[in-house]
Amino acid sequence: MAKTKSKTPAKAPKPAKSDLPRAAASTQSGSAPAIDIGIEGKDRKAIAASLSRFLSDSFTLYLKTHNFHWNVTGPMFNALHNMFEAQYTEQWTALDDIAERIRALGYNAPGSYAEFVRLTVLKEEPGLTETLGWQEMVRQLVVGNEAVCRTAREVLEIADDGDDTPTEDLMTQRLQTHEKYAWMLRSLLQ
């Protein structure tokens, strides 16, 4: 990846030690060889930690999109119900790719609501107790998709520093998708 930047993006706060991913445990002591995929151990750990934050942001956005799919009302119901469904379906599939990349680097992926809430920059939105208007739903999804893009760019930087081409490729794909979603959703509010 070319390293040309016009400005340095704001970095996410350094994760607490408890937020760092744990190396996957071997089921049989000494039965598996050490991971040697051409990426230094410290780089794999940093990449896995950044991917864990990205996975958490992505999962929270997925859940918010699915929530809004279920609870949207108003004159835009049909169009938004269908649009949200297409987006959350695509996002669900991508979550597996992100988690599997973390595992390929030798670390456990976050997998609980508590872990996702701790690692994400996105705010959850209640579905049962409150229902937002469709315009606010769309606005929040624009903001959420853009936040996921910013996190992806942070992962790209870390992956580039560690020469991790597969993670760079994955983040490039996710950026294309989330930038498109943000554009499409923003267009509904203009």
| Mean pLDDT score of the chain | 89
Q: What is the pLDDT at residue 18?
A: 56
- Whether the pLDDT of residue 129 is over 70: the answer is yes
Q: How confident is the model at residue 140 (pLDDT cuts 50, 70, 90)?
A: very high
Q: How confident is the model at residue 189 (pLDDT cuts 50, 70, 90)?
A: very high
Cα gap 60→53, rounded to integer Å? 11
Residue type, 54: F
Task: Write out pLDDT tens, residues 29-76.
Answer: 668 899 999 999 999 999 999 999 999 999 999 999 999 999 999 999
Buried b (16+ CB within 10 A) or exposed e, 25-44: eeeeeeeeeeeeeebeeebb
Q: What is the pLDDT at residue 39?
A: 96
Helix (H, G, I), strand (E, B) or coil at 17: helix
Cα 140 to chain centroid, rounded: 16
Q: Are the CB atoms for 99 and 58 separated by under 8 Å? A: no
Stretch 119-126: mean pLDDT: 87
Q: How confident is the model at residue 126 (pLDDT cuts 50, 70, 90)?
A: confident
- Whether the pLDDT of residue 9 is over 80: the answer is no
Cα gap 111→86, rounded to integer Å? 23
The three-point CA angle 126-131-132 to 5° equals: 105
Q: How confident is the model at residue 14 (pLDDT cuts 50, 70, 90)?
A: low
Q: How confident is the model at residue 8 (pLDDT cuts 50, 70, 90)?
A: very low
| Percentage of the chain modeled with pLDDT above 70 | 83
pTM of the model: 0.84
CATH 1.20.1260.10 fits 39-189, yes or no: yes
Cα gap 67→114, rounded to integer Å? 18
